[in-house]
Structure 1
């Protein structure tokens, strides 16, 4: 039985003077400076990286509602920061900048660095010291960027556009019609002089178009998307991955490969962003709720054969990931955020299947709702019960560790939390 073991609430009511909506941005290069093992494909095992096709970045947009601040962090990484990293980040940004909520989302590139390795024997120490050092520095780098963005926030206006597209496809289901979340969501934030501070894009699609055995770092099509928008609009573009557990890019002859697909998405995002007319919120505010769900792993990590097989599929030191599965208990985390009463975020620490995103968006009280996967951690795949019934990669216990039904519980809780935040 899935059990909820942790609840933290941040409901900060405004008091005194009228609240003002502000926004701030920051960017950091997070490309590893030395060769390290890569994340994403077991076939590469512990072969070290050999350079970079493009720099990897962390991009931060802080939205300040006067009563609370949410930091949106788009990462050119395969996953969100570890739970231990998130504790450090949240501790620092709250103390140094009053940031009450963080949504740190990995774009899920399969050409980023492994960030799980630890300074412990057998888990990275001695053999992969460069990767251990990178993992130690990463939360400090991200916290620095969030603090910079929060403390540099200026009065701002915000607007949102959402369109249904054919940019993704269901890679898992054999049932017709195949379910998917077709929405491309774009947020544009301007200062009060009309200068665009940031464009944020949210779409559900795996970044897996680069060559598997190319050991150079890349954000895959997501990197080309961000670069393309920045070239067209002259402002920071960040990407927040959606519920892409069962979603792949829907490529064709006109949008082929990471460059072709990324540029096609960039053209769409730029066009949507240009059409947005940002407005100063009438009732600014930021509030959030944090939840954790824990239960027995579907894969038995108490069985040495299971652990041995997994370590050979990747590499032994990568079993550092299992520090987050103590006593065979796997934890998924949910963060629900309401901004200005009409914009909602639901961030989940795993590879959500797309219909879970559909469920949240269909029942959310907000005018616009964005769902993020790979957020504030990584507990592997979170399939729907229907997908588990079909079986196959992404739904089977080897990569979907959370108890069956966890996804539906998370979706229902996200809706309940957003309704609570909206006072409904």
Structure 2
């Protein structure tokens, strides 16, 4: 039986379609790899002498020595097509608005960098120097114990830090050279949620194995034209609070960076802090009989470095461009403290500055006004369709990382960092703000000088701004 004309026509179309596909396969050029260039630089930022350490309110004297040196490091990426960014990591507890503004201004003037092309991230070590002189005067123990030279040391360090970061950025830009970027990730298990619910209500700062965590260890490997590793950018969502005492140290993140640089000679390891606002390294301090905190911090550092080794042994995915960046701020509104709560800030317990702030807030309430909202910087770095990095200011709790990874799940890997560009205090999620406790309200209002807790819509404001910036970086 002869095939019908319709069947002959269908077969002809199939043959022609296959021929067209083969022609496209032959004639279309392969995707051109991004002509990446990368530059890296590092400077030691260990204070030259005794200095007041930040993070624990029970310290009553400056540092007494150095256990592990502190570093500022800069990693620059240039996609060869107009996209570039400089990531600066610092072994410090916080970043201030003053530091960010100075770096923006000077790096823009000297190197032509735009604000969205600069990312600053603090490791949040609690064994590093105080970097905010105006923050120190709010602490009663400091006012009672500090000497004039202690204030002078912090003031001098702030100036040194501003100059160092700007110079470091220039060094990383001047070291740009052809590079290959690859991404992988592994896991480390020593971080644990520290918001333990108590039988009588409320939350204490203790291990809570049932609480949410983010154990991912993202790793961006940067290799030179000789295929040798030039830089390893890696992250983890956990407080750097293994240690206490009076010795300067980068805590577990500092040890992990040191271990990696010993394992890969010539490489610079940079730690990017994740959303660890409600996460602690456990065990820590004096939890383990017969072990010193220094033993534990080395163990945690080794565990994190081993996770990076594991990521490098896994299947690495090439990272291509273009590189697109965006920067903006979400506005965080306050639910102010009540008059009764403000009345508890008495001269017997707080410094004159804190007492006057409480009185000023009371006068504000009397006028029927509310505190001004707080800008929360957010930054997005999009590496083509392979990697998206979202960086959020503040001590961000883990809920933000888990939510963004869930909402952005797709072909591109998602990396979420906290403690970026401004560390103003704790950024609770709706859950944490509703629950209250240390990260929800008391740390910000009783220690960090905020006029109240953030309103419950803070999480939506931050996530909404992140999505807006992500849309701006779409191809």
Tell me, yes or no, whether TM beats 0.5. yes
Q: What is the SS of the residue equivalent to 1:259?
A: helix
- Which whole-Å CA distance do the structure 2 matches of 1:367 and 1:407 have between them? 23
TM superposition shift of 1:376: 0.8
1:408 and 2:460 are equivalent in the alignment: yes
Within 1, Cα distance between the matches of 2:394 and 2:458?
A: 11
Residues 327 and 393 of structure 1: CA distance in aligned 2, closer, same or farther (over 3 Å): closer
> Is the 2:218–2:236 contact (alpha carbons within 8 Å) kept by the matching residues of 1?
yes
Moved more, 270-279 or 54-63: 270-279
Retained in 2: the 8 A contact 1:188–1:276?
no
Task: Indicate the residue corresponding to 1:347 in structure 2.
Answer: 391
Residue aligning to 2:218: 185
Residue matched to 1:382 = 427
Task: Please report how far the alpha carbon of residue 172 of structure 1 lies from its aligned counterpart in structure 2 after TM superposition.
Answer: 1.1
| Equivalent position to 2:71, from 39, 44, 57 | 57
| Of 231, 234, 237, the match for 1:201 | 234
CA–CA distance in 2 between the matches of 1:103 and 1:295?
Answer: 24
Deviations along 1:38-57, one digit per CA (max 9) or x if unpaired, are: 10001114x21112111100
Superposed displacement of residue 220, structure 1: 0.8
The aligned counterpart of 2:25 is none
- Alpha-carbon distance in structure 1 between the residues aligned to 2:70 and 2:62: 16
8 Å CA contact 1:348–1:373 kept in 2: the answer is: yes
Classify 1:121/1:77 alpha carbon distance in 2 versus 1 (closer, same or farther; 3 Å): closer
Question: 1:191-340 to 2 correspondence within 5 Å?
Answer: 191-210=224-243, 212=244, 214-234=245-265, 235-251=267-283, 257-275=296-314, 277=316, 279=318, 281=320, 283-296=321-334, 298=336, 306=345, 311=350, 329-340=373-384
Equivalent positions of 1:48-197 (< 5 A) are 48-66=62-80, 67-80=82-95, 82-100=96-114, 101-117=117-133, 128-174=151-197, 177-197=210-230
Q: Structure 2 unaligned runs (5+)?
A: 1-32, 198-207, 358-369, 446-452
Larger radius of gyration: 2
Question: Residues of 1 paired with 2:52 and 2:215: CA distance?
Answer: 34
Q: Is the 8 A contact 2:277 2:426 kept in 1?
A: yes
| Distance apart, 1:407 and its partner CA | 2.7
Deviates most, 33-42 or 338-347: 338-347
Larger helix percent: 2
User: Which stretch of structure 1 is more off in the superposition, 169-178 or 413-422?
Assistant: 169-178
How many aligned positions are there? Answer: 394
Return the alpha-carbon distance in structure 2 between the equivalents of residues 121 and 109 of structure 1.
Answer: 20
* 1:317-376, Cα deviation, whole Å (9 max, x unpaired): 9x99xxxxx966433221122123432221122111101111112222661122111111
Query: Relative to 1, partners in 2 of residues 1:119 and 1:239: Cα closer, same or farther, differing over 3 Å?
Result: closer
Paired residue secondary structure (2:382): strand
Q: What is residue 362 of structure 1 aligned with on the other side?
A: 406
- Provide closer, same or farther for how the CA distance between residues 197 and 308 of structure 1 changes in structure 2, counting only shifts above 3 A: farther
Q: Per-residue displacement from partner, 1:41-74 (whole Å, max 9, x unpaired)?
A: 01114x2111211110011111112323211111
Distance in 2, matches of 1:316 and 1:77, equals 25
Supply the distance in 2 between the matched residues of 1:406 and 1:38 (Cα, whole angstroms): 30
1:165 CA drift (Å): 4.1
1:395 is paired with a residue whose SS is helix
Separation in 2 of the partners of 1:22 and 1:189? 10
Alpha-carbon distance in structure 2 between the residues aligned to 1:251 and 1:157 = 38
Which structure ranks higher in relative contact order (CA pairs < 8 Å, sequence separation ≥ 6)? 1
TM-score calculated relative to the size of structure 1: 0.83
Instruction: Tell me, yes or no, if the aligned pair for 2:45 and 2:70 is still in contact at 8 Å.
Output: yes
Match of 2:68, SS?
coil
Q: Deviations over 1:194-216 (max 9, x none)?
A: 02110011110111111x2x211
- Once the two structures are superposed, residues 156-176 of structure 1 have per-residue CA deviations (whole angstroms, 9 ceiling, x without a partner) of 110111234433211115498
Question: Is the CA contact (8 Å cut-off) linking 1:68 and 1:285 kept in structure 2?
Answer: yes
Distance 1:379 1:91 in 2: 20
Mapped partners of 2:91, 2:302: distance in 1: 17
CA distance in 1, matches of 2:346, 2:228: 52
RMSD after superposition: 3.4
Alignment deviations for residues 224-280 of structure 1 (CA, whole Å, 9 cap, x no partner):
111111111221111011000111224498996101111121122123234464747
Mapped pair 1:399 → 2:444: yes
Cα distance between partner residues in 1 of 2:440 and 2:388: 27
Which deviates further from its counterpart, 56-65 or 364-373? Answer: 364-373
Query: For residues 398 and 119 of structure 1, what CA distance do their matches in structure 2 show?
Result: 14
